[in-house]
Amino acid sequence: MNQAKPTREEWNSLYQAAVDFKRSACWEWMYDDDIFGVVDPETRETAYCCIMGNGGEHFAVAGYLGTEGLSGILGLLSGEIDTESSESMFIQKCLMCSFEDRSLLSAEDLKNIKEMGLKFRGRNEWPLFRYHEPGFAPWFLSATQCRFLTHILRQALEVALCCRNGKEILDHETPFTFLIRVCLKSGEWVDQYITAEPDEPEFVSFHIQDEIRLKKLKTFKPKQNLILEADTFYVPTPVRENDRPYFPKVGVLLDHHSGLVVSFEMMKDIQEEGYKCINRLVDFIEQNMPTKLLVARVETYYLYLDVCKQLGLPIEMVEQLEYAEEFRNGVFDQFVDTHDSER
């Protein structure tokens, strides 16, 4: 996507669309599970939108991008993804306009507002625009994203006004079929319906390439009652190396009976660096061969699947990992405490 910054005219259009949307207070009759779509006239990407604020706490409109974004919002709405979990913040892929307190805006946000000659006062009155992407901190909009979010706000208001006296327009007899707003070549926006294809997430897996080392590892006998827990998760405090901050991912192995951490690896991207977790496991196996590997996430399962097949090491998917969850909560608390102390 083009990363050029929005022009003043593009910012002005976005802020005006946000002001009009806020003035309507359409969250009074719209709920966050009233999902509809808006198709970007430029990229043809579909944003699956929901309007938030009926609970009186978080006022926003979000456009979840593509089937990946749709899977994220449906997971949150269904309870499959725990909205109270701090990890829910890492899975969103969307463009969002929220209405916040002034203290939550950055210096760049406030500069834009001043340059537009706009004034906002009070709680939940200040427009905040961000792009959310899994694994990254919420970030400022590019010009393309700015234009798309402007369309989302305007079409969300159109849909909301049509739903004020009834939401039949959002209903469809075919499952996973949504009302979408599409811009014709003439510039006219019309209603259509689309059946969303299920998202198929891609998971990475690594194996041992050193045949001599693999042959040696296969001769090791499992140590009785030695079971390992394996987990992968995001760290809640972003790291900034270049321009955009990202959330590091951790890969950890623990003794299932004692909770002892036997390996710890921090990565920028598990797709590219997941092999480091495999190396840690292999290093451990050269000293102690476990009888089983327990995991609770699909991502973690596939990460270790190939090497487990190579070694004949059973890998089992379980509902919960006691020590891994305890360790993860400890890491979260430590990073949050460190962040708070630095503020």
Output the DSSP codes for 83-126. TTSGGGGGS--EEEEEEE-GGGS-HHHHHHHHHTT----STT-E
The pLDDT confidence band at residue 1, using thresholds 50, 70 and 90, is very low
Let me know whether 136 and 94 are in one domain: yes
Strands 292-295 and 227-234: parallel
Picking from 116, 156, 282, 275, the residue whose alpha carbon sits closest to that of residue 213 is 282
Beta carbons within 10 angstroms of residue 96's beta carbon:
20
pLDDT at 77: 80
pLDDT at 321: 94
CA distance 67 to 290: 39
3-state helix, strand, coil in the chain (%, to 5): 40, 25, 40
Percent with pLDDT over 70 in the chain: 94
pLDDT tens digit string along 138-175?
999 999 999 999 999 999 999 999 999 999 999 999 98
The pLDDT confidence band at residue 264, using thresholds 50, 70 and 90, is very high
Taking residues 219-230, what's their average pLDDT? 94
Let me know whether 260 and 228 are in one domain: yes
Let me know whether 172 and 295 are in one domain: no
pLDDT tens digit string along 79-138?
776 655 666 667 789 999 999 999 999 999 999 999 999 999 999 999 999 999 998 999
Let me know whether 112 and 25 are in one domain: yes
Average pLDDT value over all residues in the chain: 91
CA distance 127 to 15: 7
In this structure, what token pair is assigned to residue 149? Answer: 């979010």
- Residue 182 is which amino acid? V
Range of the domain at 310: 211-342
Let me know whether 138 and 230 are in one domain: no
Taking residues 178-206, what's their average pLDDT? 92
Taking residues 187-201, what's their average pLDDT? 90
Let me know whether 26 and 170 are in one domain: yes
Lowest mean pLDDT among 10-14, 79-83, 292-296: 79-83
Whether 339 shows a pLDDT value over 60: the answer reads no
CA distance 79 to 169: 25
Look at residues 195, 230, 265 and tell me which one is the last residue of a structural domain: 195
Percent with pLDDT over 90 in the chain: 79
> Which residues, in sequence order, are CB contacts of 129 under 8 Å at separation 6+?
14, 18, 95, 96, 97, 109, 140, 141, 146, 149
pLDDT at 343: 46
Total domains in the fold of the chain? 2
